[in-house]
Structure 1
């Protein structure tokens, strides 16, 4: 099939490349000239394992191209995929200006029947607005389809080529058949539904996963007070098929481009129909508070943080990505600065992106994990990069001025810590805290 993909962010670029890998002819479109020039040189504007190699092979095969000329791409394609950004507005609502602008340009370029397929995450009813815009600016017949994406940064190629399911929302039987055929090489798990339900499925899925993360973090906080081990608790819960083990890993909360944005957007969607989504509001509040437990644990050990040097390992919101949007590291580092601390930060991939968010005289961005840890009063591990999880505890304690490690991702085990003088705090594992032992409470019944 001939596809035009409008937008070359995570969703658009990964989707376009993977569709070309399936044998389709794909044109990826972006207004940013610099980004298109990078892609044409074989450079990738985002970090995603395996993406660069797929781009190169499909460009060489003649199935993948890049352009800033949206009109030409639309005219040469049968299916136009909308994958532009829907960033949050100050009130949490999704900003649909890019969607509306793209719909207008697509309509004005149409030279015959097109299927306009939305992969951007959009509020319920947005595809109807897209259809209204296209009808206003084009005389040609078209169909609109909602196909939400469920890829995860860091494993986006795998998720796209091996999806759990494909959701297709449309009121056109012809479009449903065509879009089903496009996705059938990926999976037989295809759900056909109406457009509004497809739009809601995306938000509901992300909100539920965010809820699981906040739930296990609340359990972790209780575990710390009653002397239970959250890793064992989550393992025991995960064996229950009704619950499952995914997204039950305690830590410093979720971040990135999807969960924070989509939870806030769903709260706003509910508010517009006079419904208060109390549960989801609490999920957001718990997630916001969870990242500050790192600060609390530092102050428990060090007291006043003013003048202290704190090392930070990890700036991306998760490993295998350079995405720092809503990363817990930002608020943690900002709070450390506000409390008078000096910060030495390192991330294997995301440092350059993080510098765009935060430049401060009290923050030194380091070129290695070793440089960040050297002579620091304490180390906070915020992203579970393999480089960090495989770091020797014995080597680490020799680098630090004080052997203090706040493990925000629970990556180190009791065996790794055994026999070391490391002062260690993790999340929801009070039995592993060492160096500063907390008395387990006497529980009253």
Structure 2
């Protein structure tokens, strides 16, 4: 299959490693043409979804790209507001699926011996694709050819994937918030945070990822965390789930 990658940022660059012969299109960088993209069998869309003032993610660039794409398959890698893919499929009639990375940036408190390099999708352990079953299956088959033979593939609904991505980043932020509050309490008590943290985390039920903080390295500094958890708060508000919105708002307030 002939592959196109639309957007050469963090995700687009990662998939360029998987598909080195892919047609590349990045309009702001003046790379490639739409005609070249539309000659391909599948387009991997990895464009920005920047935060709006109300906390939601802007879908403008994604929608604009989908409008002009003519490839038989469209696979969106960008973070989306839940419901976006279903709405775009209904609007355009195109075969669109969404597949989002379930691991964050590798330099953020991750143990490289345990967690795969997020910049190398071929080492990822899980592939999660959402969309209509036929479309999602074709996208999964296409990606599986380049992934680890041991990868676990989940084909679910698009909205479930869109929510899962926001939950994934929000959960990482929740753990960072917890360990920073724990740090404050232990330090205020005049005791050693390292000794206390090590004693607590020796329980096998405690996963150490995101549960280390240092006096000079407090809170989260992740752009993706900041935008995605605010998007989760906004989505929670739109569907009337106050408990999640209150939790996320508190996390943001503590981190600031």
What TM bracket, shorter-length normalisation? 0.7 to 0.9
SS at the partner of 2:85?
helix
The structure whose RCO (Cα within 8 Å, separation 6+) is larger is 2
Indicate conservation of the 8 Å contact 1:206/1:262, yes or no. Answer: yes
Structure 1 residue aligned with 2:236, among 251, 270, 273? 270
Instruction: Count residues with an aligned counterpart.
Output: 239
**Which has more radius of gyration?**
1
SS at the partner of 1:4?
strand
SS at the partner of 2:251?
helix
SS at the partner of 1:157?
coil
Distance 1:235 1:177, change over 3 A: farther
Alpha-carbon distance between aligned partners in 1 of 2:84 and 2:204, rounded to the nearest angstrom: 35
Alpha-carbon distance between aligned partners in 2 of 1:71 and 1:232, rounded to the nearest angstrom: 60
Distance 1:97 1:215, change over 3 A: same
Indicate conservation of the 8 Å contact 1:100/1:133, yes or no. Answer: no
1:132 shift after superposition: 3.2
Q: Which runs of 5+ in 2 are unaligned?
A: 108-116
Q: Which residue of 2 aligns with 1:208?
A: 171
Q: Which residue of 1 aligns with 2:8?
A: 8
Alpha-carbon distance between aligned partners in 2 of 1:103 and 1:118, rounded to the nearest angstrom: 9
Distance 1:216 1:143, change over 3 A: same
1:12 shift after superposition: 1.4
Alpha-carbon distance between aligned partners in 1 of 2:7 and 2:74, rounded to the nearest angstrom: 14
Alpha-carbon distance between aligned partners in 1 of 2:239 and 2:45, rounded to the nearest angstrom: 26
Distance 1:200 1:174, change over 3 A: closer
Q: Which residue of 2 aligns with 1:121?
A: 79
Task: Check if 1:83 corresponds to 2:42.
Answer: no
Indicate conservation of the 8 Å contact 2:98/2:130, yes or no. Answer: yes
Alpha-carbon distance between aligned partners in 2 of 1:229 and 1:126, rounded to the nearest angstrom: 47
Indicate conservation of the 8 Å contact 2:130/2:136, yes or no. Answer: no
Task: Check if 1:179 corresponds to 2:129.
Answer: no
SS at the partner of 1:204?
helix
Q: Which residue of 2 aligns with 1:143?
A: 95
Indicate conservation of the 8 Å contact 1:148/1:167, yes or no. Answer: yes
Alpha-carbon distance between aligned partners in 2 of 1:254 and 1:192, rounded to the nearest angstrom: 31
Instruction: Say what the alpha-carbon RMSD is for the aligned residues.
Output: 2.0
1:181 shift after superposition: 4.4
Task: Check if 1:29 corresponds to 2:28.
Answer: no
Alpha-carbon distance between aligned partners in 2 of 1:196 and 1:3, rounded to the nearest angstrom: 25
TM-score, length of structure 2 as denominator length = 0.85
Following TM superposition, where does structure 1 have runs of at least 4 consecutive aligned residues deviating by more than 4 angstroms?
A: none
1:151 shift after superposition: 4.2
Indicate conservation of the 8 Å contact 1:104/1:133, yes or no. Answer: no
SS at the partner of 2:95?
strand
